[in-house]
Amino acid sequence: MNGLSTVFIILGLFLLGGVYSFWKQQLPKSIITVLAIGSAMCLAAGILRLEVWN
């Protein structure tokens, strides 16, 4: 696990926490959707950058 994949995974989890928080505050669904997409992309990038796929 290199540094950049760790950063992507941590950022994705942070954004996922934001999605949960925004959902609880009942903010507009469009903001939650954009945040969820960003979180999924960060998590996917972090997972795909792991060295286990080589």
pLDDT in tens, 19-41: 999 999 999 999 999 999 999 99
Place of tokens 């995974």: 9
User: What is the per-residue pLDDT for 47?
Assistant: 92
Q: Is residue 30 part of a domain?
A: yes
Q: Write out the residue range of the structural domain in which residue 16 sits.
A: 3-49
pLDDT at 54: 67
Instruction: Kindly indicate the confidence band of residue 53, based on its pLDDT and cuts at 50, 70 and 90.
Output: low
Domain assignment of residue 45, yes or no: yes
In a domain, 14, yes or no: yes
Number of structural domains (the chain) is: 1
Q: Would you state the pLDDT for residue 52?
A: 76
Q: Which residues of 29-46 are buried (b: 16+ CB within 10 A; e: fewer)?
A: eeebeebbebbeebbebb
Q: For the chain, what is the largest distance between any 2 Cα atoms, rounded to a whole number of angstroms?
A: 42
| Mean pLDDT value of segment 39-49 | 94
Could you tell me if residue 42 is inside a domain? yes
Residue 54 resides in a domain: no
Q: Decide if 35 is inside a domain.
A: yes
Q: Is position 22 within any domain? A: yes
